[in-house]
A and B are shown apart, each in its own frame.
Chain A
Amino acid sequence: MTIKIKMLLIILVGIGLLFIANIYSSLQTNTAHKQYSSEESLTAHSSAWFSNMDTQFVSNLLAYDPADGSERNVGFWDPESDAFAGSTGENPLFAAIVDKDTETAEGLFAQVFSDAIMEEQITFAIAYDKRGLQLYCESSLYLVGVDPCDESAQPDYFLKFGSFVSSLENGSVRRVTQINDLSGDQPVSINDTLVFPLMDSGENLIAMVVVGRNVIDSLEQFSENFEIETAIAIGERALTVHDYYEEERPPELNKLIRTGISHAVENQTFSYSFVAEEQGTRISSIPFSKEIRASDLRILIFDDQAELLAALQEAETTAFIIFATVSLTILGLVFVMTTSSFNRIVDAIHLLEKMGEGDLSVEIPAQRGLFSSKNDEVSRLQNTIDDYRHHRQEAEVQRRDRAKRRDERDGIMFEKMAALAEQLEGQARDLLKQEIAGMRDTVSSGTDEEKERASIEVMSKAFSRMSDEVTTLIDARTHELVAAKDEINSSIRYAAKLQNALLPKTMPGDFDINVEWRPRDLVGGDIYFIKDFPDRVYIAVVDCTGHGVPGAFLSIIARSHLDKAIDANNYQSAGAYLSTVNELLKDTLSRSDQKNTSEEGFDGGVCIYYRKQHKLEFAGAKSSIFNVNGIDATETTGDRKSVGSTRMASDFTFTTHEIASPTGAFVMLTDGITDVMSPEEKPIAFGRRRVMRILRESPDKTPSTIVKNIMRSVNLYRGDAPFRDDLTLLAFSLIEDDSEISTASAVGEDP
C-alpha cells in the first residue's frame, strides 16, 4: 500500500468518524431539547389550565360560599336574617326547609340562582335536605351532556353519599363532580362544583347546596387559546368536545387519544408529555385539577408539532448536507493535492532511478500540481533533484571532455613513446613496443577509472623516460656551469696570488713585524705597505673603499701612489707624505671619472721611522696607531678624513704625529678589526677600546703575541658571524740594537 493511499484512507476514516460523532451529538441535542420542551410544555399547559379553572371558580362559584361568598349571597344562608325580604326576621328558606315546604324552598333557591343560571355564570344549582332529598334543581338551558336535573342524571357523590355529607362538616368543599347519564344517552358531564352546607342557628345541618359549572366551555376556550386539541380522560376512557355536541370525532383525534392513553397505560404515568412522531403531534397529559388524581381524571392535550418537526428535520438534513459537502470537498481537495504531489514525487523518484541507471536525459514534467507553489516541499525536492541532474550532466560533460583530452594526451604519449622505441634497438625496442601495446589495451577498455589509472601509468612511464633525458641534459649543463665557476674562481685565485705578491715579503732587519692580512673574498681592498730605505722605513696600513675585486683594483692604485709619493732624498714628514698620496689619488680618480661621486679612496695610517733621529712619525686618515709600552697603552688618532675622497680638498694637509723615542709595540689596523660585530640582533662593534684593553692586558708585548691575542679576541667576539670586511692588523716593534741600525739597508719589495 503506498503512502498516498494510506493517507487518503486515514483522511476518509477520520471524516467518517467525525460524521458519526456529529450525528451522535446532534441526536443527543435533539433528545435533550425534546426533554426540555416536554417539561416546558407540561408546566405551561398545567399552569394555564389551573389558572383558568381557578379564575372561573372564584368569579362564578365561590360567590355563593356562605363564608367567602359575595355579601348579597352570604345573607341568603344566614339563619338569623331574611335576606330574601330584606328584613331582619327569621330566614324563610331555613324555615321552609325545616317545615318541609318544598315549594317555598324551591322558590327561594330559584331567587338565589336563577339569574346566574340564565346568564350562564353557573351551569346548575342543586339543593338537598340532610337526608339527600332533592329540594331544588335548576340547570342551564344551554347544557351539554346530561342534564343534572334529569331523572337519569346521577352525580358521582351519590355513590358515596355518606362520606360526601361528612366531608361538609368543616364547611364548603370544592370538587370535580361527574354526572353520569343512567340512560346512557348523554355523555358524562364534568363540572367544577362548590358544595356547601346550610346550618341552622344551632349549627345543625339542614340542607346541602351544590353549585356547578360545566368545564367543557373552559376546555373549549383553552383549546382555542392554545390552538390545540384536547380530550378529557377518565381512566381509560376519553371524552372530547365532539362527544358533547354529538359530532363524529375526527379519526386523527381518536388515534391520538389512543396513543396518549396507551402511553399512560404502558408507562403507568398520567402526567407526561411526548411527541408522537408518527402523527407529528405532542401529546401531553395533565391532571384535571389540583384536587383530583390524574389517574382518575386528566386532560389530554394534542399540540400539532408537524411544522416544528419538519423544520427540525430540515435543519438536520441541511446540516448533514453541508457536512457531507464540506467533507467531500476536503477529501476531494486532499485527494487531488496528495495525488498530484505524490505523482510529482513519483516523477522525481523515476528521474532518480533513471539517473541511477545512468540516463540523465529524463526531465521533470513541467506541469505543476493543484495548490503547488515554487516553494513547496515537492517543488524544492524537484528543483534540487533537477539541479543535481544538471550538475551530473555538467560533470558528465566534463568527464567526457576529460576522457577526450586524456585520449588525446595518451595518443601523443603513445606517439612519443613509439618514437622513443624506434630509437632503441633490438630487444629493448620489442619490449617497449609490447609495453605500449599492452597500455593501449588498458587505456582503451574498462571503466573510466581504470582508463584514468592506466593513462596515469602511461604518463608516469613516459615521464620517467623523459626525465632520464632531462637528467642527462641537466648533467651536461651543470657540468658547464661548474666549469664556468671554476674558471672564475681560478681567475680570482690568480688575482689573489697577484695581490699577495704585491705585499711586502721581507721586513727591515731592525723591526719585529707581525701582520694578519685577511681579505674577505680571496682578494680585497686592504693592503699593507713597507718600504725600507737606508735612513728611514715607511709603513702603511690601508683600507681601500669596497672589497673583493673592486677593492683590490683600488688597492693597486693606492699602493702605486704610496710608492710614488715617497721622496727618499729629502726629509718628508708623515703628514706631508699622506697629503701627497691624497693629491695623487684624487688626481687619478677625478681624471678617470669627472663625476666621481662615490667615496673611492682609502682610510689608513702611515708611519715613517727615521733611524738616525730614532724618531717615528705617524699620520692617519680615519685611523689610529696604538702604542703599548709596559702596562701603558696609548692611541694616537689621525685626521678624520679619508684619502682621495671627493669631500677632501686636494691640498689638505694631514697632521704629523711625532713619537720622539718610540718604545714598546705599535699596532696599526683597518676597520675590519674594529667593525667586527657581535652576533646579536643589535650588535655592537668590537671597537678600539677592546683593542686597547687587549694591548694593556697582553702579558707579552711582542708583535706576534699581540696579533695572536687580538685575532683570538676578534674571533671569539664575532662567534659564528662571518667577517664583513677585509681586515689587516699590523704590529711592530723596534729591535733596540744600534749596530743593526747602521747596517740596515733597503729591503722590502718593489712592485
Chain B
Amino acid sequence: MIFEASQRTPRVELTPVSCLIRGECYPENISEWSEPILGALEECLGNDETEFVVDIELYYFNSSSAKFLFDFFEYLEESAEGGKSVVINWRYRAEDETMQEAGEDFEEDISACSYNLVVVEQAVA
C-alpha cells in the first residue's frame, strides 16, 4: 500500500512485512492524514508474519506530527509485545542534528521493538 508524498506529508509505503516513511511531515490537519495510515498499519501488523521492519527517514515534522509518531510507535510496541519481531530504523543525515535528536527522543519511549539510529548518506532506494 502506498501513500504518495505531498508538499506537507511524507511518502508512506506499507507491506505486510515492512513500512517506509520518507519526507517531511507538517499536514494542516494531522488526524485527517494519519488515520488511514494508522489503520493500514494496524492491518499490516495483524498478519501472521513474524517480522516487521520500519524505516523512517524524515527531514522535518511539526509538533502535531510528533503526536502521530508517538501513536505510530505505540502500535509497533504493542505488536512487538505480542511477539512479533519489530525493527525500527530511524534514519537521518549526519548533519541533521534536529532529526538525530528527535530519533534519540523517540528511542527513550521504545522498549519492545529493536530501535536503530541509522546515519545515511543517500536516501533509501
> Are B63 and A640 within 8 A (Cβ)?
no
CA distance A682 to B96 in the complex (A): 11
B3 at the interface (CB under 8 A from A): no
Chain A residues, CB < 8 A from B95: 684
Flag B90-112 by CB within 8 Å of A: 1 or 0 each: 00010111110000010010000
Chain A residues, CB < 8 A from B26: 724
> Are A546 and B64 within 8 A (Cβ)?
yes
B77 at the interface (CB under 8 A from A): no
Chain A residues, CB < 8 A from B24: 677, 683
Known A-B contacts A685-B96, A685-B98, A687-B96; the reply to A647 vs B60 at CB < 8 A is no
Residue among A599, A603, A724, A725 with max Cβ neighbours from chain B (10 Å)? A599
A674 at the interface (CB under 8 A from B): yes
Q: Which residue of B lies closest to A724 (CB)?
A: B26
Q: CB within 8 Å of B: which of A663-696? A: 671, 674-675, 677, 682-685, 687-689
Interface size band for A: 20 to 34
Flag A511-545 by CB within 8 Å of B: 1 or 0 each: 00000000000000000000000000000000101
Chain A residues, CB < 8 A from B97: 687-689
CA distance A677 to B60 in the complex (A): 8
> Are A599 and B99 within 8 A (Cβ)?
no
Chain B residues, CB < 8 A from A645: 67
Chain B residues, CB < 8 A from A689: 97
> Are A677 and B59 within 8 A (Cβ)?
yes
Q: Which residue of B lies closest to A690 (CB)?
A: B97
A140 at the interface (CB under 8 A from B): no
Q: Which residue of B lies closest to A674 (CB)?
A: B98
Residue among A671, A682, A689 with max Cβ neighbours from chain B (10 Å)? A682
> Are B99 and A685 within 8 A (Cβ)?
yes
Chain A residues, CB < 8 A from B108: 640
A193 at the interface (CB under 8 A from B): no
Chain B residues, CB < 8 A from A281: none
> Are B67 and A598 within 8 A (Cβ)?
yes
> Are B96 and A598 within 8 A (Cβ)?
no
Chain A residues, CB < 8 A from B99: 685
CA distance A677 to B96 in the complex (A): 11
CA distance A689 to B26 in the complex (A): 22
Chain A residues, CB < 8 A from B66: 599
Chain B residues, CB < 8 A from A733: none
Main secondary structure of the interface of B (DSSP, over half): helix
Flag A564-591 by CB within 8 Å of B: 1 or 0 each: 0000000000000000000000000000
Chain B residues, CB < 8 A from A599: 63-64, 66-67
Chain B residues, CB < 8 A from A685: 59-60, 96, 98-99
> Are A683 and B60 within 8 A (Cβ)?
yes
B125 at the interface (CB under 8 A from A): no
Chain B residues, CB < 8 A from A675: 60, 62, 98
> Are A682 and B123 within 8 A (Cβ)?
yes
Chain B residues, CB < 8 A from A687: 96-98
Q: How far is the CB of A691 from chain B (nearest CB, A)?
A: 11
> Are A603 and B93 within 8 A (Cβ)?
no
CA distance A546 to B59 in the complex (A): 19
A240 at the interface (CB under 8 A from B): no
Flag A630-651 by CB within 8 Å of B: 1 or 0 each: 0000000000101001010000
Q: Which residue of A lies closest to B71 (CB)?
A: A597
One of B59, B62, B63 near A683 (C-beta < 8 A): B59
Q: CB within 8 Å of A: which of B29-75? A: 30-31, 59-60, 62-64, 66-67, 70
Chain A residues, CB < 8 A from B59: 677, 682-685
Chain A residues, CB < 8 A from B93: 682, 684
Q: How far is the CB of B59 from chain A (nearest CB, A)?
A: 5
Chain B residues, CB < 8 A from A683: 24, 59-60
Q: CB within 8 Å of A: which of B67-88? A: 67, 70
> Are B96 and A684 within 8 A (Cβ)?
yes
Known A-B contacts A640-B108, A684-B95, A687-B98; the reply to A647 vs B70 at CB < 8 A is yes
Flag A550-565 by CB within 8 Å of B: 1 or 0 each: 0000000000000000
Chain B residues, CB < 8 A from A642: 63
CA distance A677 to B98 in the complex (A): 11
Q: How far is the CB of B18 from chain A (nearest CB, A)?
A: 21
Q: Which residue of A lies closest to B98 (CB)?
A: A685
> Are B63 and A603 within 8 A (Cβ)?
yes
CA distance A504 to B105 in the complex (A): 33
Residues of A in contact with B (beta carbons under 8 Å apart): 543, 545-546, 598-599, 603, 640, 642, 645, 647, 671, 674-675, 677, 682-685, 687-689, 724-725
6 shortest A-B CB distances, which residue pairs?
Answer: A685-B98, A599-B67, A684-B96, A687-B97, A687-B98, A689-B97
Beyond the given A685-B99, A688-B97, please list 11 additional residue pairs across the A-B interface where CB-CB is below 8 A.
Answer: A545-B63, A546-B64, A598-B31, A599-B63, A599-B67, A640-B105, A671-B63, A675-B62, A683-B24, A684-B93, A685-B98
Supply 5 A–B pairs (Cβ within 8 Å), ascending by A.
A598-B67, A685-B60, A687-B97, A724-B26, A725-B62
